[in-house]
Amino acid sequence: RSPAPQVPVLAEGVKLGSLPLPKLTVLFGTETGTSQDYATQLASQARAYGFPEVTVMDIDKWPVLQAGKYSATSEGAPNEMVVFVTATYNGLPPENAEKFSAFISDESKDSGLPFKRLSFAVFGVGNSNWRTFGAFPNKIDTRMAELGADRLFAIGQGDADKDIDHDFAEWNTRFWGYVLQLFGATVMPQESTGSNAPVSITDGVVVEYLPMSESEQWERANQRKKQDCVVKLTVNKELQDIAKSGRSTRHIELDILSLPKADKDRYQAGDHFEIWPENDAFTVESVALGFGLVLDAVFEVKDANNGSLSSRSLAKNIKGPCRVRDALTLYADLRSPPSRYMLSCFADQLAGSHPDIEAQFRELVQTGPEGKAKYEAFIEKNRTPLDLQRNFPMVKEMALKDFLCAVTVMAPRRYSIACSPLKHPESVHLAVGVVEDHVNNRTYPGLCSGFLSHSKPDTLLRANVKSAKETFALPKDDTAPVIMISAGTGLAPFRGFLEERQARSVQSDTYVFFGCRHPDQDFIYRSELEDYVKDGTITKVFTCFSRNSESGDPKRYVQHHILANSTLFWKLIKEEGAHVYICGAGNMARDVRRVFELICQSVGDMKNDNEACAYVERLIETGKWCEDVWG
């Protein structure tokens, strides 16, 4: 019944081990816990199969890395297997894999083959909206082989933009199918193994309610929110003409005085700011009612299996006594779709009373392409746990323990910082486009943008600086011209860049290309841009509007303006060594690149697409073409 990967099961009476089983090390590189969760699952599965020595750890803590070389202990069959499960952040390694990344990047190590006789496999975790999707996992996969290791199994990639759990489950099933056979085990066909998967996500979870009388515990539980809060909202104002545009972009200012000093020092124009959203009281109360949870009850999670809990389960993320209300407000993502685990809990519940719905839910949680397609179609119609309850009134309560394992954990959202620390050393500004989806005759506000748009001055928020590690930073060389290309709220980081260049009185040319729908509706920070033109901080702004039809202008995007100014654009990049920055949603960055590749051929006399693409790749490698895009 577990939606955990349907890994193969050993045939009855069969033991692993016509070959001696190797030591298994599962290494994770993680920012948000997803990779750690998959790594933990792999390790639990390996233990269940009887692997004698299984360890899970941060990539940078791997003893082989510390030693600088792998030392095989015997000839013959592999005696150590290592599986990497890792994310990429902006094409860079996660923080707990930076040392390893530096190690494998060092080509002087190639001839020594430091990983000779080690077997490895890689599973990458990422989001396909980023151009850099899979960059770091792919690098590990390539470099491990070049450094002498044997690739045990083909790399897998999970896409957080689609159905990452499913991607992992599929790879995981194939991985074990192959590995078990390699070590001489006969395995049962996968189809028959669904209910016997060795890991269930509630295994080992004990949830205890605390008696009301333990006032000290209550006190501590109620302190929770305050401890987490690190910044204070001071300004929250509208940037669009909502009456005309029907859409909203908020300018938000946050007082970051209470952030640890190191974080303040780390913030620079071009960095991101991470905000932890909160669910609104109405949603929290509706979910509590629907699932039969008592909002004022205080509970504590005990991990009876000591560390085996999935790091993405809410149960794992709640430390110490917690009020149900806080768990639902701060730690559970109540806007995410019903998880497969939630559906299987309800399937169990409906087994006697509604066998047809039970069967439908069981089909949804199957791995394989058919199950995946059905689940995706289902969550289109049932976008939140509340939708599920609305559309299936027969699903009722769920034990707190199951709920804590089934609901998606709240993850922070990232925004580009829209100011410079030189001008605002004690605050961070954000430009937040307020998201609203209208589907199935309902309105779904974005979790974090909705939360921020309603937050009043003096609200305390859980937040942190997320450094872009120089991947989106102004050039060190102040003589190089800068070209900033953006659409909509993509202007945000450039507001920071412009403040920075004004504060430092940088003299080189600055060109801004900005696109929005209509000059009177969503032209955010218009007067600031005009002032920068007046004082010379900006050499020239090129604006274009995509929905300004009453003026008789055709629909124009920034790339049309770039094309119309091909000669200038080419000259700035080729002759003057300009740095190009692109920030905006969706396909803008891809389209701008395409236009520039055309300019390379029309103005730059390159012979074909290949030559133009290679030229852009070189600009990217040398840090002269930087993109910050989101889906």
Chain residues that interact with ligand 2AM, rule: CB under 6 A: 487-488, 515-517, 546-547, 557-559, 586-588, 591
CB nearer ligand 2AM, residue 469 or residue 547: 547
Q: Closest separation between CB of residue 513 and ligand 2AM, Å?
A: 10
How far is CA 105 from each of CA 140, 147, 160, 209, 293, rounded to the nearest angstrom?
Answer: 9, 10, 26, 50, 51
CB nearer ligand 2AM, residue 284 or residue 583: 583
CB nearer ligand 2AM, residue 14 or residue 563: 563
**DSSP state, 193?**
G
- Can you tell me which residue has the tokens 């199950």? 371
CB nearer ligand 2AM, residue 403 or residue 557: 557
CB nearer ligand 2AM, residue 301 or residue 588: 588
The tokens describing 323, both together, are 């009020």
Q: Closest separation between CB of residue 430 and ligand 2AM, Å?
A: 17
Instruction: Judge whether 237 and 382 are in contact, CB under 8 Å.
Output: no
Q: Closest separation between CB of residue 589 and ligand 2AM, Å?
A: 8
Degrees (nearest 5) of the Cα angle 164, 47, 123?
Answer: 30
Q: Closest separation between CB of residue 489 and ligand 2AM, Å?
A: 8
Q: Is 90 left (phi over 0), alpha (psi -120 to 50) or beta?
A: left
Residue 597 parent element (H or E): helix 588-602
CB nearer ligand 2AM, residue 582 or residue 626: 582
Q: How many helices (H) and strands (E) does the chain have?
A: 23, 22
Q: Closest separation between CB of residue 574 and ligand 2AM, Å?
A: 23
Q: Closest separation between CB of residue 485 and ligand 2AM, Å?
A: 9
CB nearer ligand 2AM, residue 466 or residue 495: 495
**DSSP state, 313?**
B
Q: Closest separation between CB of residue 556 and ligand 2AM, Å?
A: 9
d(CA 527, CA 494): 14
How far is CA 595 from each of CA 589, 598, 617, rounded to the nearest angstrom?
Answer: 10, 5, 14
d(CA 256, CA 421): 11
Q: Tell me the DSSP string of 519-542.
A: TTTS-TTHHHHHHHHHTTS-SEEE
CB nearer ligand 2AM, residue 59 or residue 589: 589
Residue 73 parent element (H or E): none
d(CA 58, CA 482): 39
CB nearer ligand 2AM, residue 26 or residue 599: 599
d(CA 443, CA 537): 41
Q: Closest separation between CB of residue 548 and ligand 2AM, Å?
A: 9
Q: Closest separation between CB of residue 254 and ligand 2AM, Å?
A: 24
CB crowding 333-356: b at 16 or more within 10 Å, else e: bbbbbbbbbbbbbbbebbeeebee
Q: Closest separation between CB of residue 473 and ligand 2AM, Å?
A: 23
CB nearer ligand 2AM, residue 198 or residue 584: 584
Q: Tell me the DSSP string of 39-56.
A: HHHHHHHHHHHT-S-EEE
